[in-house]
Amino acid sequence: MQPPHYIRIGTPGAPKVVFAHGWGRSHRDFIPVAEALAPSIDAYLFDLPGHGKSDRPDEAWGTVEYAEYMARYVAMDLALEDCVWVGHSFGGRIGLRLGVHSPGIMRHMVIVAGAGVPREISRMERWKRKWNGRKFQKAKAAARTEDELIALERKFGSPDYVMSRETGMRDIFVRTISEDQSADLPRIPTPTTLIYGSADTETPPEIGKKIADLVPNSTYVECPFYDHISILDRGRHQIALAIKEATA
């Protein structure tokens, strides 16, 4: 597997900042923030393995394998120790793993709309999911063509689940989306800023608050009106502020 693709923006010799995007996205999500802070940081914007221009892993990696791979590359190949890790969504999941297993390479983490702990699900919602799951499995067994199967996935599955078939990442998606990091989060020593949008339905504020309760040295920030994606563009000033504070 080739090294991950990345671009570099900023000032050599300034504090190092590593950016890791969300599922199905790329380094482009963080270009506006990196360019805004270019005079004061040395930014490395990665395409995580299997996304953008980076090769997918040969096996079905979970976030532990992603974190181990990124830790080796960031610390050993690029010598970016004492960096700030900025991770959105999937990149946040990986960051939390790094916080447990490779805390020495980071001075601070900024987790933006990151998951890693289960959501509270009402009895009604649990029943609804179970019922829809049975309907999907029954309809899937009766599907006769690839097109019929794809149509069923679009009806019953999330956009990321549907996309994972198109990108050949279904095995990795299914493995990572079901992970629960709750037991490990109290072991993170790295100062952590958690940024969530109040209108985010994919990783809602309750997720951020749970993580904040578990990570010892953490600060929780909630941005009104922003959802899972607008937190990256309209909310980029809040991400930039967290990076400035972490690199001061």
What SS3 class is residue 38? coil
Residue 183 one-letter amino acid:
A
Q: Is the pTM of this model over 0.75?
A: yes
Q: Where are the domains of the chain?
A: 6-118+180-247, 123-174
pLDDT tens, residue by residue, 119-163 = 876 666 666 666 666 766 776 677 777 766 667 666 766 777 767
Mean pLDDT of 157-185: 85
What SS3 class is residue 217? coil
- Decide if 219 contacts 192 (C-beta within 8 A): yes
Class of domain 6-118+180-247: alpha beta
Mean pLDDT of 49-75: 95
Backbone phi, then psi, for 28, in 5-degree steps? -60, -25
pLDDT value for 124: 66
**CA distance readout (Å), 24 to 3, 62, 88, 187:** 18, 15, 11, 29
Mean pLDDT of 215-244: 95
> What's the CA gap between 89 and 213, in Å, rounded?
18
Mean pLDDT of 28-39: 97
Backbone phi, then psi, for 196, in 5-degree steps? -135, 150
- Decide if 93 contacts 23 (C-beta within 8 A): no
pLDDT tens, residue by residue, 70-112 = 999 999 899 988 999 999 999 999 999 999 999 899 999 999 9
pLDDT value for 13: 94
Backbone phi, then psi, for 51, in 5-degree steps? -130, 155
